[in-house]
Structure 1
């Protein structure tokens, strides 16, 4: 879907007509941002990884290519993991030399308001960002079995049930760093890996608390309000 906006930039909202992902599903998304174009891409609602059969794995593969002088705001809403899900997710971003990126990936490990906890679930996640073919940011996560117990460990999540990763690749990344760092709660941290590369990791007790911290951060880094679907 292509909502109307008050700016000349393009906004795209993707819709999963299946309503979620389960074992055996294979979803793929390929996006190309042309030279000097700006694209904001979000989702209609939270993505859901549902219960899968033991022998089946759901896969979600996303390929994003940003050409010279382009900018991509990759702003999907949360991925919610359900009990006995089995999901393998891959996100690969290719940036040309002067392309810009704002990326967020929020994850919810069971809906606490519904009393959900992941006692038997599997999730494998990989994020790869390259610039001109060279690695810029690589991240990964492997969770299996009693995820709720793993998240209780102090060195893992200290009881948090929601998290988000934010990556900004832009010339003004360093200017945002001190303001963002001072505004984050004790369960979050920011690192300036280079003058143009800002990375933030957030942990929260639940998805509501995560959004309370995440939305102001994204609006500052985006220099704009978030897409309307984030507020519905």
Structure 2
């Protein structure tokens, strides 16, 4: 969907007409932002990884290319993992010289309102950002089996029910470090991987608390151009 807005960038809302992802589903997305263009991508609501049949795995593969002088905000809403889900997800971002990229990837471990514990899941997540073919950020997560027990460990998530990664790759990324740290809760941290790569990691008790602290950060990094769907 292409909503009308008064923002400088074009906006796209991705809609999953299936309502969620289960074993055997396969989704592929390939987007290119052309030279000097601007695009913000989000989703209509939280994505859901539903219970899968034994031996079946859902797959989501996304490839994003940002050409010289262009900017892309990749701002999907939360991915909610359900008990017994099976999902492999891959996100590859290719940046040209002087391209600007902002990403948020929030994940919710079960529905807090339903008191759901994840006792048997398979979630594999891979993210790779390159500029001119050179890696700038590589991340991977494997959550298999009794996720609730893993997440309860103080060395892993200390009982958190949600997490998010925020990455900004831009020439002025370092100018946001101090203000980001000042706005983050004690369960989050921000650091510079390189002079143009700002990374924020955040844990929260549930999706509400996660979003409450994420929105001000994303407002800052998008220069108050956060999509309306993030405020609902």
TM-score by length of 2: 0.98
How far, CA to CA, are the matches of 1:111 and 1:91 in structure 2?
24
- Tell me how far apart the structure 2 counterparts of residues 54 and 178 of structure 1 sit (CA, whole Å): 47
State the 1:172 CA deviation: 1.4
Query: What's 2:33 paired with?
Result: 33
What does residue 21 of structure 1 align with? 21
State the partner residue of 1:104: 104
Corresponding position of 1:215:
215
- Residue aligning to 2:61: 61
Query: Hey, what's the Cα distance between the residues in 2 that align with 1:225 and 1:91?
Result: 23
The total of aligned residue pairs comes to: 232
SS in 2 for 1:83: coil
Residues 10-48 of structure 1 deviation map (CA, whole Å, 9 limit, x = unaligned): 000000000000000000111100000000000000000
SS of corresponding position for 2:202: strand
How far did residue 225 of structure 1 move? 3.6
Q: Deviations over 1:94-143 (max 9, x none)?
A: 00011000000000000111111101111000000000011110000001
- Counterpart of 1:159? 159
SS at 1:61 equivalent: strand
Which secondary structure state, in structure 2, belongs to the residue aligned with residue 24 of structure 1?
coil
Report deviation, 1:8.
Answer: 3.7
- Give secondary structure in 1 for the equivalent of 2:174: helix
Secondary structure of 1:56's aligned partner: coil
Distance 2:224 2:5 in 1: 12
- Report the TM-score when normalising by structure 1: 0.98
1:1-232 alignment runs, 5 A limit: 1-232=1-232
Q: Which runs of 5+ in 1 are unaligned?
A: none
1:191 alignment partner, SS class = strand
Range that drifts further, 187-196 or 205-214:
187-196
Does the 8 Å contact 2:23/2:58 carry over to 1? yes
Q: Secondary structure at the match of 1:181?
A: helix
Residue by residue, what CA displacement relative to the aligned partner does 1:173-193 show, whole Å, maximum 9, x if unpaired? 111101111221110000111
Q: Deviation string for 1:72-96 (max 9, x for gaps)? A: 0000000000010000000000000
For 1:121 and 1:7, the matched residues in 2 are separated by 39
CA distance in 2, matches of 1:19, 1:179: 37
**Partner Cα separation in structure 2 for residue 230 and residue 177 of structure 1:** 22
Give the secondary structure class of the aligned counterpart of 1:5: coil
Q: Secondary structure at the match of 2:6?
A: coil
